Amino acid sequence: MMTAQYPSHNPISIHEFTASKQAGFFDTLKQPRFSGQLILTSSKGEQWFFYLYLGRIMYATGGSHPVRRWRRHIAMYLPQIASQLSSLQLDIASLGNQDFRLCWEYQLLCLWVEQQKVSREQAARMIRSVIIEALFDITQTMEVTCELRQDNLLSTRLVLIDADQLINEAQKHWQAWQGAKVADRSPNSAPIIRQAEQLQQRTSPQVYQTLRQLLDGNQTLRDLSVRMKRDVVTVTSSLLPYIQMGLVELINIDDLAPPVSPPPTGSLSTGETALGPLVACVDDSPLMCQTLEKILTGANYQFLGINDPLRAIAILLARKPALIFLDLVMPNANGYEICGQLRKLSFFRNTPIIILTGNDGIVDRVRAKMVGSTDFMSKPVNPELVLSAIRKNLKQESPD
């Protein structure tokens, strides 16, 4: 039975941390108006971090995929930020190291609200959804250890939420997940095709091609639900027959790397390297943009990822990258058209444009040259070839 006073010293263990037990636990934090950090640790070592003020929740993070969750919610709730993620390096540079270490996702949200890039209402909707997802994952965990720290405080309060509201919402998601007969599986797992030939025999050519593109083992069920604009239960249920037949397998995958490393304190000093030129990638696949971002930021380039081809030219004009990677096949627009339109603009007349394609055919190469592309690269990309192409087209010397 819960005591009225929150546990102030030793961590306590709770078996089967169900919605009712969650509600009871958070209620014990309301009465003494607890402010600080709640750390929940699963038996497998996963940790979730809840930030509270006077017993109400400000934000939550942690679990197996905090960065993937953050990226998904940026895409869903802050589309204006999703198209400008390369500016994160500058945004984080304006935060201190201490701020970065203490829940960088929340600190960035506060910064964007302050800069009026994001409305407080948008931030609140995103925060609610992030917390609900974390509570869902906690509900799926059989046992947790709870620890309270009063010293880890978030200074800015964008929103204060009663835990009951979010627990009820997370419980609805959990019941829907159970109702779909997938309670033993995690929406953080990633589907991958295991029996390609048998899958092809059991599906139409169009369905098979779609599955082959989506089920690459690099995107979780939750990632796919955002990409497909369908709820995760629907996406999982549609794949369940293939999973049960052993044609598709759900695997555990790592989280994505944080968007940038925390900056050094103060301005650049001797021995520190300034950021390189801005390189853009126009591709409707978030995964492709994430892959290039990892390659480029690791080599100290600035990166601009654009997933909406219809907004590509406007964003490129606003940011003026030094080099552009451009996907050939996208919905509503194709790389040929965008390349041709860019070449008609005086600013981009001589900007290197590298066409990306999964179909490395001579016809595509010839047509790409005709619309003014500088180079041509096959997908999946090779990191060394990417960096070599950038250095060649920007006439930079190799660091070697």
CATH number at residue 348: 3.40.50.2300
pLDDT tens track for 13-33: 888 888 999 999 999 888 888
Do 167 and 216 reside in the same domain of the chain?
A: no
Higher pLDDT, 222 or 365: 222
Q: Which of 77-86, 210-219, 336-345 has the lowest mean pLDDT?
A: 77-86
Q: Which of 28-37, 226-235, 355-364 has the lowest mean pLDDT?
A: 355-364
Q: What is the pLDDT of residue 264?
A: 41
Query: Quick one: CA dihedral 177, 183, 188, 193, positive or negative?
Result: negative
Last residue of a domain, one of 141, 156, 177: 177
Q: What is the pLDDT of residue 10?
A: 55
Q: Is residue 268 part of a domain?
A: no
Do 102 and 136 reside in the same domain of the chain?
A: yes
Segments forming the whole domain that contains residue 35: 12-177
Task: Taking residues 176-196, report their average pLDDT.
Answer: 92
Do 61 and 155 reside in the same domain of the chain?
A: yes
- Using the predicted structure, report yes or no on whether residue 333 has a pLDDT greater than 90: no
- Using the predicted structure, report yes or no on whether residue 307 has a pLDDT greater than 80: yes
Q: What is the pLDDT of residue 1?
A: 36
CA angle 364, 356, 195 (to 5 degrees): 95
- Using the predicted structure, report yes or no on whether residue 276 has a pLDDT greater than 90: no
Q: Compute the mean pLDDT over every residue in the chain, rounded to the nearest whole number.
A: 84
Q: Is residue 161 part of a domain?
A: yes
d(CA 102, CA 36): 12
Higher pLDDT, 388 or 156: 388
Higher pLDDT, 151 or 175: 175
d(CA 36, CA 230): 36
Last residue of a domain, one of 177, 207, 237: 177
Do 170 and 67 reside in the same domain of the chain?
A: yes
Do 154 and 237 reside in the same domain of the chain?
A: no
Residues 6+ apart with CB under 8 A from 390: 279, 296, 301, 323, 396
Q: What is the pLDDT of residue 97?
A: 47
Query: Quick one: CA dihedral 362, 368, 374, 380, positive or negative?
Result: negative
Task: Taking residues 230-255, report their average pLDDT.
Answer: 93
Do 314 and 228 reside in the same domain of the chain?
A: no
Domain count along the chain: 3
Q: Is residue 98 part of a domain?
A: yes
- Using the predicted structure, report yes or no on whether residue 6 has a pLDDT greater than 70: no
pLDDT tens track for 367-394: 767 778 888 888 888 999 999 999 999 8
Q: What is the pLDDT of residue 272?
A: 40
Q: Is residue 47 part of a domain?
A: yes
Do 128 and 200 reside in the same domain of the chain?
A: no
Instruction: Kindly state the percentage of the chain with pLDDT values over 90.
Output: 40
Do 81 and 163 reside in the same domain of the chain?
A: yes
Amino acid making up residue 60? A
Do 86 and 189 reside in the same domain of the chain?
A: no
CB atoms within 10 A of CB 183: 12
Q: Is residue 77 part of a domain?
A: yes
Give the closest residue to 375 by CA, choosing from 388, 383, 231.
Answer: 388
Query: For residue 92, what pLDDT band results from cuts at 50, 70 and 90?
Result: low
Q: Which of 93-97, 188-192, 198-202, 295-299 has the lowest mean pLDDT?
A: 93-97
Last residue of a domain, one of 232, 251, 270: 251
Do 146 and 225 reside in the same domain of the chain?
A: no
Q: Which helix (H) or strand (E) holds 187?
A: none
CB atoms within 10 A of CB 368: 22
Q: Is residue 264 part of a domain?
A: no
Q: Which of 155-169, 227-241, 263-277, 329-343 has the lowest mean pLDDT?
A: 263-277
Do 345 and 228 reside in the same domain of the chain?
A: no
Q: What is the pLDDT of residue 268?
A: 40
Q: Is residue 193 part of a domain?
A: yes
Query: For residue 133, what pLDDT band results from cuts at 50, 70 and 90?
Result: very high
Task: Taking residues 66-78, report their average pLDDT.
Answer: 92
Query: For residue 314, what pLDDT band results from cuts at 50, 70 and 90?
Result: confident
Do 162 and 196 reside in the same domain of the chain?
A: no
List C-alpha distances in Å: 69 to 24, 92, 140. Answer: 26, 19, 17
Higher pLDDT, 136 or 271: 136
Q: Is residue 113 part of a domain?
A: yes
Query: For residue 398, what pLDDT band results from cuts at 50, 70 and 90?
Result: low
